[in-house]
Structure 1
């Protein structure tokens, strides 16, 4: 849909609401409708070869200039301050995502939650806050959802009231509308930094220790299969991005996601994204389809954004048949829970496999589980680095290599704790050496804690 078509659609909605006599909280409602109409007229006057599009930077400046000219001409009685505010709101409506555009620009906001027209929450520094931002009504929220999903070829309506999408900067979007959403159209945006976090950033935040980072770098370079486990919002995708930065630049990487959000910096990356069914209910491409197809694409590594169903079986088979060094994430509260969930997900593939055969697949495929948790103060910590040893009887045996020991909270409510090695040397140490990766001898020492007083860094926190 072109810029002009979107503007006309939005103007038609506003005109209907005005005709219906809906209550308006915005005192400049009528002025905005008139300014919208004037902007459409200005754009229609342009010759075909000079048509503008909101996605192009040079055209965005033209739109800003046109809005300012229209405001000067059509609203002489309004104060300069109000004109600036109106110009910003009109520009955000045309080029951005309406009232939440400012939140998308705010680097401190990590998540935006629109619960209908009258409630907008954000996550800042790990804590939820209610904002003063409001949409005019549910139709306004629906218009913003359409603006997000239309360029991606996705749709949302009563027959398909839920959609996953992404913004141009990679931020993940989930939208759900009535009749499923009882509070009105609901949008959840998980923002991703334009400059992705590095492992050094996570060390600085206290998410893991220097020793853990060195160990994980060695594991990735030695082509171990790693699962990042954690709850919703625990930082799994961010951590997966950091892990992927350790992959050598000469390897071919295939990424598979529902909505593409991984930001890999290697030169040889092929990104695959699922596709929902069309209006006839056909043409859906699932993660499982993409995992199977990726095996024919000569990957050195396969990265699956998240396994949540039958694709777990295909992923495990890939890990067991020569595609070492693969990475994925999954929802679970502990490493042991992650293994149980993988077992359940394999059963979801519809294969009538005995439980022991499934556990043999899991134990043979997974080398390491990284458990990520979101703490009570909103911070994210790696709480376990757990090695999967193998199968003994019918039980998958694991051992913790590094753990996070919580020591309480400080006067400001922030969680205090220490990352420690358990003193156990992983069974795959020989595999690390065979790959030419050399780790410091004392890296697995239980006395090398990382926390409020780390002796290796002068007693200072990183």
Structure 2
């Protein structure tokens, strides 16, 4: 590769020029070449790189960067060289171009749409990130690095995979041939510190009066479902509600990817397992819910009901495990009831519609709907009690309701 010209890589010191430098094809190739140079140095010197701590690696990369610039006579200034060293260090010990995004606590989602386009969500708003990959293979290498610790694989015969980062963040990856524009990575970040009630009140997600009501209901062992669409904050709110469970109760959690963080001493966390390469030995959410019921739980918390585990979850709520909780993907409380019925049908339930609704009325006592508004704000839209069955319909009664026009959560108890 020819060294980039001064006009290509020279920077005046401002962030916009550094960003253009990092996004250029010349920079991507330069970083790739320097990465290969570092690997060669490590192998030739037989260095025990795996045993080094972060400071040793950073010092080594910096020293080699200065040497490489001199040897190759690269027309880069100090800030550009530092950027190159930092990004290459992320290639060696992290997730390449997206490592800085993973480390940024203010980012909620990282969305890689092929090698050249990366979006992030910050405070509910999407924007393009100033990073990119060299090519499709570069993206796939990062995906494989994410999957390596958990023994998963991705290739043309298995082009979709769910995984998680060491901090618990959820990862979904899709590669060609089903990803037409190049490999895609979707990361839902896992907060290092869970949001507190004070945080949600400050953000305007919920009012203090509503939280006091929910705290009372959870402590009184109310079976609860948190309802919401994608990215609405269902898991965050479920995690908050779980903090109101008395500390002397035994809790069993069932999740596809462990996200709940309960500050209780008596918690057993269970996580599903996908099938192996032969398509065998999968452990489903339904398997775990059934097993959880044999483990003497006071409450069962299912991260999200999305399949045939719905029947076992309702059974848990109906058979002495009062105060159990879960979430469900739906845009309203009425849609949530319809989705429960649909999932039960998929699970093989062949009773009448009225019999199933009677079971729901007996099992579920409260629905909490959360939503992400157009501006990115997350709000509690309603707190709804399930009053029972009237004819062939469930009787739902709102206790709190969000007035979109006024932008306030109304306490309907005061109006009765």
**Could you state the TM-score of these two structures normalised by the residue count of structure 1?**
0.80
Distance in 2 of aligned mates of 1:155 and 1:327? 33
Checking the alignment, whether the CA contact within 8 Å between 2:34 and 2:88 is kept in structure 1 is: no
Distance in 2 of aligned mates of 1:41 and 1:212? 64
Residue number in structure 1 paired with 2:21:
none
1:31 to partner: Cα distance: 3.0
Q: CA RMSD, aligned part only?
A: 1.7
| 2:275 maps to 1:272 | no
Number of matched pairs: 387
The alignment partner of 1:298 has SS state of coil
Deviations 1:272-302 (A, max 9, x none): 1111111111111111111111111111111
Residue number in structure 1 paired with 2:339:
341
Distance in 1 of aligned mates of 2:163 and 2:29? 33
> Which ranges of structure 2 fall in alignment gaps of 5 or more residues?
1-24
The alignment partner of 1:52 has SS state of helix
Deviations 1:30-78 (A, max 9, x none): 2332123213444x343xxxx625xxxx622222222223223333345
Distance in 1 of aligned mates of 2:223 and 2:34? 59
Distance in 2 of aligned mates of 1:195 and 1:343? 35
Q: How does 1:18-417 map to 2 (within 5 A)?
A: 26-28=28-30, 29-42=32-45, 44-46=46-48, 52-53=50-51, 59-76=53-70, 77-78=73-74, 79-407=77-405, 417=407
Distance in 2 of aligned mates of 1:301 and 1:59? 42
Distance in 2 of aligned mates of 1:237 and 1:120? 25
Deviations 1:117-156 (A, max 9, x none): 0110111121111123110011111111111112112222
Checking the alignment, whether the CA contact within 8 Å between 1:24 and 1:136 is kept in structure 2 is: no
1:182 to partner: Cα distance: 1.2
The alignment partner of 1:306 has SS state of strand
Checking the alignment, whether the CA contact within 8 Å between 2:35 and 2:91 is kept in structure 1 is: no
Distance in 2 of aligned mates of 1:93 and 1:296? 46
Distance in 2 of aligned mates of 1:395 and 1:45? 70
- TM-aligned CA distance change 1:41 to 1:244, over 3 Å: farther
**Could you state the TM-score of these two structures normalised by the residue count of structure 2?**
0.89
The alignment partner of 1:178 has SS state of coil
Checking the alignment, whether the CA contact within 8 Å between 1:162 and 1:177 is kept in structure 2 is: yes
Checking the alignment, whether the CA contact within 8 Å between 1:225 and 1:326 is kept in structure 2 is: yes
1:24 to partner: Cα distance: 6.0
Checking the alignment, whether the CA contact within 8 Å between 1:347 and 1:353 is kept in structure 2 is: no
Distance in 1 of aligned mates of 2:233 and 2:267? 22
1:394 to partner: Cα distance: 1.5
Residue number in structure 2 paired with 1:5:
none
The alignment partner of 2:369 has SS state of strand
